[in-house]
Structure 1
């Protein structure tokens, strides 16, 4: 039967410890393979793709260390590495943080802590895999964009919010003769905008920066000074950290030249037609006016530019236009000339009776079919007057409605009093309305809690007064159905034909899922810190238990030397326990306040030395020290005080010890201990005789790149200098 359990590689050089940890981890439901050194761990991790997590000790004896092995493994494959070690000081934590951040577990912290650390590492790794896939997809999309950008048939350029060019494609280089490195961070107005068109360019740039898409035809200047007719299409793009503008240029020089020639021909034809006293018009096969003479303009009441490109439906009453269109199609289809009496209503509403002759004409060179009409007014002083009322819905409104009906985002338009005039179907469904029309005339006060609606109203009124748009603002949202979530909202003022604010346009996107994902990641990191803090707390409790056991054993012992040794050990453990207590209570587990640390250690020493009658006084400054250095400070003070109480006060009526701990510069800590005893013996001053406690003091000072100095001044004095930066790691 196949083993479907996840496989964990346990790297531990202590065989018995590895065996015990294997049993514990297999009890969690995992399959465990073991390795006793760093080199073998690298080979196994690389060779066995089934290994899905590595529990790595830091100190692996001879050979490479755990962090070195982890680095070699991660260079060849990505796998979560959790460091399982007896080292708990910040230097070790910092060392492994630079390698991997999947976990750091202190040995003997308990099965629950170990199991939670493993499960958390798997969760973080799964999330990392998801992010990697998303990043790969993003990179693929970026590659596609770059390919499309640089190989597009149109000349393209990216411009930043300061109107400086950032990139261009090869077609831009061909058209304007500038290489990409020649345009970098240069003002577009100084590159390709002719001097006579700079004001127009400023207006276009302002429109784009106000999130308006710009389409226009104009001229731009090449590197050699020549002018090119171009069609410009500029679109603002909001990136997470900035706004850029994508500008596309299409060379329309040939088109413009043809248009100029055509325009010249049209002007000539118009002059000829204008010389004819009867109204004349020419239409294409779509029944759009191509040419009209001055007499036809007088007949209809419309100017030439108002007629060209339009149809009878844009000029006459619907029933009149329908009749004209029917006759026009018959002439174009059959080729027979048509002469009809027609009634038209001109622009002023006057009714006129006309005699009209229509003829189909085919252009031999192009095969284009045209309709030519000649009109003669035959009203004979009979006036047909009426009022012409035209009501047509704009095509743009249909497009807007299509957007409102299909967009998943919540889109709305409000008047100057923040009342809804139109909303999207998605927003109507959110509000529980039967149709979007049901929201017309209502406001946020009809759908949201009063406090929220008041806040939205104030922000919208302020925006319409200051004309400053609200762009992609993320905020918590209390939905109309009582649920809460997150939205990204953009609101822009709407202007009427005279430039006055007539309302606002808004769009909101539900980003609750994105925010929930961010909160989950933050929760995992907080849970990791909580586990580490709990580990410090348990270590402190365990040390207090050991201290109590040693004290009980010392009390029960009949041998004075044994009793003294046990009391000394209990004192050392008490100093370490007090240090861990301060680390546990610190805000970030990385630094410890010096004064509470010294007060705690000295208070414990007063209790242990109370029988001797020695007065212990301590003072320190308000600085902080790294957690890794606090243990050394506590042990050094304990050893120096214990040594003084044992050896310094023979025959002294009122023994006293003064302790001073403070910063000595930016990177050192000075510990000074002064007693009023008999002083140190000469062999100790000369460095030839050290007891066990003094040996510990010298070793810790050396470990932290420091010094120890003994002297006899009004008693015994010890000066210990420790380096704060680059202290050794435990």
Structure 2
């Protein structure tokens, strides 16, 4: 804009002599002057001459259009300062100028000094208001001027865009029509408090209604301006749209809840160490160290949970963490609460916990380091907005105080220019910012960009800059005006939200199970990962919004599984079940389901579930059961045939013995038949048991004694004294042991009790460390002194000796009041 001395004034005066005199006076003051004798001519000049800087308007212009009407038409054509110049002071004449945006009323013949001062004051008022209009329009937040009774006097384009209205539409509305019904009365109360003088400014949040009906949350800073008499003049309100900020915070809370859920259910040990003591433990970590709950571990000394041989190493690792350095994984022994040692793989990294340095310790079974939870503190912040005005010809700039504050600079020592401002922009963003500035200067488009700047402390902050190019009278770019807003916290929140979402998306894609979220009594699917879609054959669009009952083959099972899982969740925090699902193409899937609430204790906000396809596993289990059943049937048939064959052999030997008469051969054949019969009973006892692999001695040995006793038709009352421990042995050991015992009992029944009405058999079995000791004896006369079991040629004793050697043991004869055979052999 030109200096005042070079500005052009349009003098509207119907009296030629007065017009000439006034024009010379104005020229003497340094102004260029154009004249118009009528209102019509004045309007024409303003329309055609863009160099007119001020209009000096007479009111009484003779026939035709008067000065008041001409002023109204001129102001509709151009926003230009206008001063009335009239000899009339009558109220009815002066009243004609009411409502016209003039910058003064000069009474003619008041003197040259008054004329010059009034015109120069009008120019200064115009420039001041022009700067206000520029700031009002270019600020990156909504600006509203409101009358004391709530009418909208003036709004900027940002406010219009925020609510979806045009300026013309807002001209017919008051603040109540734009405010959410629940916030109207509280807003009126705050305005009343300002009018009553309780305060001159207020800061609060409220809800507006967008033109399309949606709610717009806003942060308001309101100042009440008063006139010189102290009467309320109008409210000046900054309106910052915070709808997106609130949405981002809600999304962040949801991601945090999901992260907390993963932390609680993760099958890894996660501990936090601070000042040498645990301040946090997840359930798995508490169980790993033998504690009943995570709370029980709080304040436990960390070094007391480390085995003595590793404590010096752990102290060094703790010092590294305190210095801000992470530690690589290490194998070490930890001490559980009961004093037992446990080998663990552990890694530790430095963190900040509750605002103080700490160590995050991750236990064994970690396949990748779980990203530590960053505790984000959300606090209300003021939207700091600063203004700038850059002269594109010289590169010099004017900054508001708030702009200096954003950069942390002192207005007294820093002179803003395009050149030194470039040094404040992050070097990675600098070229892009200036390329966008150049483009906006060429095209006239609005500048709108978020980038990083460096404050005087060296900290990098994000700013959102909005600006526009202002042109001179020739249409050439003259300056750029706009605003800076510090949006660092918003950018960081968005970045954290993106990272959290990316991590969650990565987990959902990598997990080899269908994962989804259901909500409400109808269990509506709100989220589904790719694996769930792949398993069921439905697209994500088909699943989301449908009840999960869509997937169940049986509606009754859908109801039952829902009841059981929600009951389990209420009891223990999670639920599991098996169910049959039907895919889109009609196939039946056997599914294992695990569910947990999205938000602990609040099922209404959603339940996360994981579905694992166990169809093949079920088929394999059924096949195994069928094979086992067939195997058992085949084994029992085989055992039956073996027993029949042994019975046949026994019959043949018995028949052959009967044909021998009273000869030694008959005795041999009868002994062989008895041994076969004993082996048949032994076989039947072993292989008709439920367990084909092993049997307890307490169940096995007494049966052999009883079976042999029943084979001999004798009137002797033979009592048995059995002291046998419960010792399980494999069949391969029991078989030779049973034959050996069968031989000893048979020998007793044949020779020990002849000519006696009663007799006694003793059998004991006990384990001594890694050996089994079996003692057998009877109260008969015993073996003759001439018989040595190690060298005797009798078949029975030779058989016993061979069987003891097969067992890897020894068979010894103890002579005394009663004869005892002692068998010892090793057991695993």
TM score, norm. by length of structure 2: 0.39
- Structure number with the bigger relative contact order (C-alpha 8 A, sep ≥ 6) is 1
Larger Rg: 2
